[in-house]
């Protein structure tokens, strides 16, 4: 009697395992995960980070598709490896994989995850002493599809990937003249006036000039900025007037 009960219990357990294996989905949807550390940023503009990520891609707009294809190919490889070693319900698992893949290749599938986190210092007490440690808290997760990013890439392409869309459209272009941007232009132009050739390594009389003035629609981007000496900058202003 005990043997029959034990055999029945084992049979039920095997049936549960088989049914669970049939109902389970061994595949996870693929994602392109991009992490941003916004520690110290009081009011970060999330779209600026995404735009800068696209601007930094090799091939820019084509780079977006390359990132998508790279992750999709890795996912296909992993799924096919699993299917090749699958002992139970292989045809059923293949149907699951095909269904998921059809969803993934749709342009509205939000494969790209942009995760914004802040580092936070915490303390623990041990042997009457406080020890500091850092944890990373996720503040915001922004999900975009391939279609969304290709649209962003198209807009950035129209402005030659010079800056972010928000910065390009802002009315107060002078506020974008950061020290970092100015230093970059100085180094690019070798501290030399682009009109008369005066060399100003001590930066005395050195100006960062908008080639197309802001009033004429010029932007605070690298291609529209140059080093001028004070004399040439003043003379240029008079000519424009």
pLDDT digits (tens, 9 = 90+) for 77-93: 999 998 888 877 788 88
230 band by pLDDT with thresholds 50, 70 and 90: very high
With 70 as the cut, is the pLDDT of residue 196 above it? yes
163 band by pLDDT with thresholds 50, 70 and 90: very high
CA nearest 210: which of 161, 167, 173? 173
With 70 as the cut, is the pLDDT of residue 183 above it? yes
The angle formed by the CA atoms of residues 230, 235 and 239, to the nearest 5 degrees, is: 150
- CB atoms inside a 10 Å sphere around CB 223: 10
Contact predicate 238/219, CB 8 Å: no
Q: What is the mean pLDDT of residues 216-231?
A: 93
According to the model, what pLDDT value does residue 15 have?
64
Which CATH architecture fits 173-240? Orthogonal Bundle (1.10)
238 band by pLDDT with thresholds 50, 70 and 90: very low
- 105-161 pLDDT, tens digit each: 887 899 999 999 999 888 888 777 888 888 889 999 999 999 999 999 999 999 999
On average, the pLDDT of the chain sits at 87
Single pTM value for the model: 0.77
Between the alpha carbon of residue 105 and those of residues 71, 100, 145, the distances in Å are: 12, 9, 10
Please state the separation of Cα 96 from the chain's center in Å.
30
- What are the structural domain ranges in the chain? 27-148, 173-240
């Amino acid at each position: 009697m005990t043997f029959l009960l034990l055999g029945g219990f084992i049979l039920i357990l095997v049936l549960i395992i088989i049914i669970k294996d049939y109902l389970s989905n061994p595949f996870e949807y693929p994602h392109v995960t991009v992490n941003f550390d916004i520690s110290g940023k009081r009011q970060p503009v999330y779209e600026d980070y995404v735009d800068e990520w696209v601007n930094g891609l090799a091939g820019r707009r084509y780079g977006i598709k390359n990132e998508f294809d790279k992750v999709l190919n890795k996912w296909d490889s992993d799924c096919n490896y699993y299917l090749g070693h699958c002992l139970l319900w292989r045809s059923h698992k293949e149907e699951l994989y095909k269904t998921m893949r059809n969803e993934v290749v749709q342009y509205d599938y939000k494969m790209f995850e942009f995760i914004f986190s802040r580092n936070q210092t915490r303390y623990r007490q041990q042997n009457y002493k406080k020890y500091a440690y850092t944890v990373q808290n996720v503040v915001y997760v922004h999900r975009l599809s391939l279609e969304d990013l290709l649209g962003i890439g198209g807009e950035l392409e129209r402005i030659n990937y010079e800056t972010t869309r928000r910065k390009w459209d802002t009315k107060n272009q002078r506020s974008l003249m950061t020290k970092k941007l100015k230093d970059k232009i100085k180094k690019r132009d070798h501290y030399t006036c682009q009109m008369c050739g005066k060399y100003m390594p001590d930066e005395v009389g050195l100006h960062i000039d908008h080639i197309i003035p802001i009033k004429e629609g010029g932007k605070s981007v690298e291609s529209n900025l140059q080093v001028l000496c004070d004399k040439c900058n003043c003379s240029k202003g008079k000519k424009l007037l």
